[in-house]
Structure 1
Amino acid sequence: MSLIELIRDALFTLWRQKLRSSLTVGGVVVAIAALVALLSFASGMSRSVEDQVEKFSLLQTMSVTVDDSDTTAVLDSLALSWMATLPGVMQVFPQSPFSVKVVLGADTVSTEAQAISPNSRGSIMYEHLQAGNIFEIDDTTQVLITNRLLERFDIEDPDSPVGQPIILFSTQGHPDSGFAAIRDSIFALSSFDLLNLLPFRQEENADSIASSVLGRAAAVFFEGYMTRLDTVRDTLIVSGVVDVGDDWADRLRPVILPERSAKFLDPGSFSQNPLSMMSAMQSGDLFSAVMQGSDDEVDRVTLELSIEANHEALVDSLEAHGFESSDFLEFYGEFRKMVLLFTAGMSFLGFIALFIAALGIVNTMVMSILERRREIGVLKSLGAEDKDIRILFLVESATIGLVGSLLGLLVGWLGTEVVGFAMREYMNRQGISDVDLFHLGPEVILISIGFGLIVSMVAGLYPANRAAQLDPVVALREE
């Protein structure tokens, strides 16, 4: 018998047993639909993260801070210059955020601002403008804001604030406030307090008296410096809105200013960082530190890397100099491992469903053999060989698998589309950006159809071999 004749006879047999064949195909449909949904979900999550990585060039940036355990490392101009010479580093962007209050329209929110350095204007961090343009570096009348700030103001249209005035408030501490507090404290001392400080008290030496006086003066200076704050106000024009996505939010503050505007609102005083002042008090350098300022130091640095940059070598160099680094590559590697494990787990569940469907195929084919013993005997008596009978039943099982896989693929795709649409609608109502939870790629289609066919044919091996070994004489005599 030719292959075409065998396929024709197999299809005719399945059509003749419509109810049994439909139930068996239905089991394959359910199994393949479940497999398609699970693999599509894993593929959709992986693709969503990869799109964010590509969109925001997350693998080309590295965030650097000072290691808390290293007391000598400082993120100053010398450190930044050294980082710029490291292999693979294209640009270095210092970041020193400070607190501001923002007035936009009739609403006010508290948030953080940062300066944009002159060499960072062309950075990948500022490529994703939702509206407007980036201001000129020497412009002190404009400001960039992020989409996260618009969300806090409940503004949906990113074009609406462009060109509108925005008012920024910040509080600043000055050394004069601390010294004024010391002066007021001296005038408020009682006669008893003054007597305690006089050197004729024999039980105390000069060093202890000096230490007591300086300690009290430092405490009074600190209190005055931190409580007698001046409020600085600046009115700027919104030049553009930057889309920071979900991954740039920790590297770009909601308000982005030119350096001159940032210096006006935050001259680098300790009032923005009380912990630094406490450290200076403990080391005895409070007054000199306040008078000298901290303009040269920054809290965080972002490195823009080339595609060929060796991340591990950079991390080792930074750690050797007392700096901590964090980049998306480490998280991305862990995420890919998680996706791989998740896909394997989901595939295992799908294969369990396919195994159950395979048992249904075996049962259907065995029942078909018992009902068609006479037909098999006639075919063999007419010259059909064992391989022809084996191919006949394998074609029947493969047909069940192919039809079930195609229908399961369709059902799985429709199911993911319905669930995906419902989830997108829900996320839109919650103010969450759209995410494609499911992705039916060609690899999912090939895996689903391929495994459907393979499992079906494997399930048909036992019935096909049993039918091929049937003795035609015995089969005809029994019938």
Structure 2
Amino acid sequence: MNWIESLRLAVVNLRQTPLRTALTTAGVMIGTGTLVCIFAFGVGLQRLTTDELLKYRVLTTIQVMPAAPVPRPADRAKPAPATPRPRLDDTAMARFRRLPGVVSASPVVQFPVEVRYGDKRRNSLGRSHDAADAESRTAYPLRCGRLFLPGANREAVITKDCAAALGFKAPAAALGRELELSFFTASAGGGAAGPLPLSAFSVARRELTVRVVGVVEPPDSLFSNPILRMEILLPLDQVRALGLLDVIALESLLRNPSAGDPYQTVEVRTARATDAARVEQTIQKMGFRTVSLISILGEMNRFFILMDAGLGALAGVSLLVACLGIVNTMIIAVLERRRDIGIMKAVGSRRADIRRLFFIEGGLIGFAGGVLGVVLGWLASLGINYLMNIYIQQQGARPADLFHLPAWLIAAAVAFATLVALAAALYPATRAARLDPVESLRHE
């Protein structure tokens, strides 16, 4: 008996007990569907995370900070390091730009600012923008107007949300308008080395009138800070001339103004995400501290793998139950068809033929259950994704595709269900092949 004849006979045998076959297949379908839904959720989260990080090229961005904070008084008794502390200045930025794979390096200053236009007042986040850095010009999708030109002064670029908050009905309506900015500058007197008392530290409120020359799209990533949607960009040279300082710079200024770095944060961009890890390691070897999402993404991927493995193991329990159902169904089939097995052996069928027949029956149950399980898992993921997005939208966030069913997952699910069914059919098939034909023919 060849494979085609065995397949035809296996289909006939399964159709003789439709209810039992359907229930056994349903068990495999539920187990496979649960596995597919869980793994689709894990793959979807991983894909969503990667896509959102790539959307604004944050995987190619490295934040570089000074080597180490200026020591506090309690730490000054510790021995000084053997090598001098590198300074984050123009020389360091020039070294960064010469690294292979680096396309730009520019300082970044962020500061709180109050924006006023007419009777509208909004708290926003100010950020420096280097007009000479061509790469940074592509980091903000331009909605209308333009970005800064070299030598720009008293100009500003705002986000679309900031324009709407200030009462402009269309982004283009904000172009050419003058905004009143209110912010703080910090300075420290004395100029001596060592930490200064708070009395030597002064904060002054400054006012500045700027003209809007461009409107950009705000960050729309799921992982972006909502306050960035109200961001206002100012030319880097103007920010440095005004003496605007971020929180890190204030801390350095309080500790030791004479040892502070000219820049507290430098943003380094690479051409590809694969270059970021290598460039980050090189910068760290120079003695600077770095923060990047490329290393965080690796940890996140490991987390997703562990999560999928844990949830998959729990879901595998249902497939194990289905496996026991296949064993039970096949053993009953062996007992019910003992006489048929005896006749087959009497007319010349070998043990291998009997074993193959029951293997094919188990494989058909597993394959059918796997295919139906993929469909069930896909439908379940659509329903769960719809319900979760309703909740997400109620919380004020934008909807997202939390499930993803790639082709490899479909193939793996069907193959796994089939292999599990074949493994479950091993004992019944072996038992059927070992039946004595004479004893089987006596069976009623």
Alignment partners' CA distance in 1, 2:240 and 2:126: 11
The residue that corresponds to 1:132 in the other structure is: 144
Alignment partners' CA distance in 2, 1:361 and 1:438: 30
Distance 1:358 1:308, change over 3 A: closer
Distance 1:147 1:403, change over 3 A: farther
CA offset at residue 412 of structure 1?
Answer: 0.8
1:169 to 181, 189, 193: 181
| Structure 1: tracts of 5 or more residues without a match | 180-210, 212-216
Query: Which segment drifts farther, 20-29 or 134-143?
Result: 134-143
Alignment partners' CA distance in 2, 1:459 and 1:104: 74
1:255 to 232, 237, 258: 232
The residue that corresponds to 1:102 in the other structure is: 115
The question of whether the paired residues in 2 share the 8 Å contact of 1:40 and 1:438 is answered with yes
Indicate yes or no: 2:205 matched with 1:229.
yes
Alignment partners' CA distance in 2, 1:21 and 1:49: 42
The residue that corresponds to 1:89 in the other structure is: 102
Q: For 1:31, what is the secondary structure of its paired residue?
A: helix
Alignment partners' CA distance in 1, 2:394 and 2:119: 25
Alignment partners' CA distance in 1, 2:110 and 2:186: 19
The question of whether the paired residues in 1 share the 8 Å contact of 2:352 and 2:433 is answered with yes
Alignment partners' CA distance in 1, 2:250 and 2:140: 34
The residue that corresponds to 1:364 in the other structure is: 329
Q: For 1:243, what is the secondary structure of its paired residue?
A: coil
The residue that corresponds to 2:350 in the other structure is: 385
Query: Deviation string for 1:313-352 (max 9, x for gaps)?
Result: 5445434544211111210111111122122223322332
CA offset at residue 142 of structure 1?
Answer: 5.0
Indicate yes or no: 2:407 matched with 1:442.
yes
Distance 1:159 1:21, change over 3 A: farther
CA offset at residue 11 of structure 1?
Answer: 1.4
The residue that corresponds to 1:2 in the other structure is: 2
Distance 1:67 1:455, change over 3 A: same
Query: Deviation string for 1:278-318 (max 9, x for gaps)?
Result: 335xx7x7xxx9xxxx9x92221000123387556544543
Q: Counterpart amino acid of 2:8?
A: R
What pairs up with 1:332-351 in 2 under 5 angstroms? 332-351=297-316
Distance 1:74 1:382, change over 3 A: same
Alignment partners' CA distance in 2, 1:269 and 1:461: 73
CA RMSD of aligned residues (A): 3.6
2:133 to 112, 120, 126: 120
Q: For 2:173, what is the secondary structure of its paired residue?
A: coil
Alignment partners' CA distance in 1, 2:186 and 2:431: 95
The residue that corresponds to 1:198 in the other structure is: none
Q: Counterpart amino acid of 2:233?
A: I
Q: Counterpart amino acid of 1:103?
A: R
The residue that corresponds to 1:299 in the other structure is: 264
Alignment partners' CA distance in 2, 1:351 and 1:154: 55
- For this pair of structures, how many residues does the alignment match? 423
Query: Which segment drifts farther, 9-18 or 84-93?
Result: 84-93
Q: Counterpart amino acid of 1:160?
A: A
The question of whether the paired residues in 2 share the 8 Å contact of 1:64 and 1:301 is answered with yes
Alignment partners' CA distance in 2, 1:83 and 1:271: 24
Q: Counterpart amino acid of 2:307?
A: F
What pairs up with 1:75-474 in 2 under 5 angstroms? 75-103=88-116, 107-123=120-136, 126=139, 128-129=141-142, 131-138=143-150, 139-140=152-153, 142-146=155-159, 153=165, 160-164=170-174, 165=177, 167-172=179-184, 222=201, 225-226=202-203, 229-243=205-219, 245-246=221-222, 249=225, 254-259=231-236, 262=239, 266-268=242-244, 274-279=250-255, 297-307=262-272, 311=276, 314-474=279-439
The question of whether the paired residues in 1 share the 8 Å contact of 2:113 and 2:181 is answered with yes
Of all paired residues, the percent bearing the same amino acid is: 27
Q: Counterpart amino acid of 2:90?
A: S
The question of whether the paired residues in 2 share the 8 Å contact of 1:44 and 1:439 is answered with yes
CA offset at residue 459 of structure 1?
Answer: 0.6
Distance 1:262 1:236, change over 3 A: farther
The question of whether the paired residues in 1 share the 8 Å contact of 2:156 and 2:211 is answered with no
TM-score (norm 1): 0.77
Alignment partners' CA distance in 2, 1:49 and 1:405: 29
| Structure 2: tracts of 5 or more residues without a match | 72-84
TM-score (norm 2): 0.83
Distance 1:411 1:163, change over 3 A: same
Query: Deviation string for 1:397-445 (max 9, x for gaps)?
Result: 1111111111111111101011112222322232213321100110110
Alignment partners' CA distance in 2, 1:272 and 1:339: 33
CA offset at residue 113 of structure 1?
Answer: 0.9
CA offset at residue 389 of structure 1?
Answer: 1.2
Alignment partners' CA distance in 2, 1:79 and 1:132: 35
CA offset at residue 15 of structure 1?
Answer: 1.5
Alignment partners' CA distance in 2, 1:150 and 1:467: 78
The question of whether the paired residues in 2 share the 8 Å contact of 1:142 and 1:236 is answered with yes
Query: Which segment drifts farther, 63-72 or 369-378?
Result: 63-72
CA offset at residue 162 of structure 1?
Answer: 3.7
Distance 1:376 1:104, change over 3 A: farther
Distance 1:28 1:78, change over 3 A: same
Alignment partners' CA distance in 2, 1:240 and 1:27: 54
Distance 1:133 1:18, change over 3 A: farther
Alignment partners' CA distance in 2, 1:445 and 1:250: 37
The question of whether the paired residues in 2 share the 8 Å contact of 1:162 and 1:239 is answered with yes
The question of whether the paired residues in 2 share the 8 Å contact of 1:174 and 1:229 is answered with no
